[in-house]
Copies of this chain bind each other. A is one copy, B any other.
Amino acid sequence: MHQMSSDMRSCIEECLRCYGACLGMAMNHCLEAGGKHTEPAHFRIMMACAEICRTSAHFMLLGSPHHKHMCRECAEICEECAKSCEALGDMQECVEACRRCAESCRRMAA
- Given A1-B25, A38-B34, A48 and B44 contact (CB-CB distance below 8 Å): no
Copies of this chain held together in the complex: 4
Q: Is the CB of A58 within 8 A of B23?
A: yes
Q: If the complex has contacts A51-B55, A51-B62, A63-B44, are A2 and B16 also in contact, measured as CB distance less than 8 A?
A: no
Instruction: Establish whether residues B64 and A45, one from each chain, have CB atoms under 8 Å apart when the complex forms.
Output: yes
From DSSP, what is the main secondary structure of chain A's interface residues? helix
Interface flag for A4 (CB, 8 Å): yes
Interface residues of A (CB under 8 A from B): 1-4, 12, 16, 20-21, 23-25, 27-29, 31-32, 34, 38, 40, 43-45, 47-48, 51-52, 54-55, 57-59, 61-64, 66, 69-70, 73, 76-77, 93
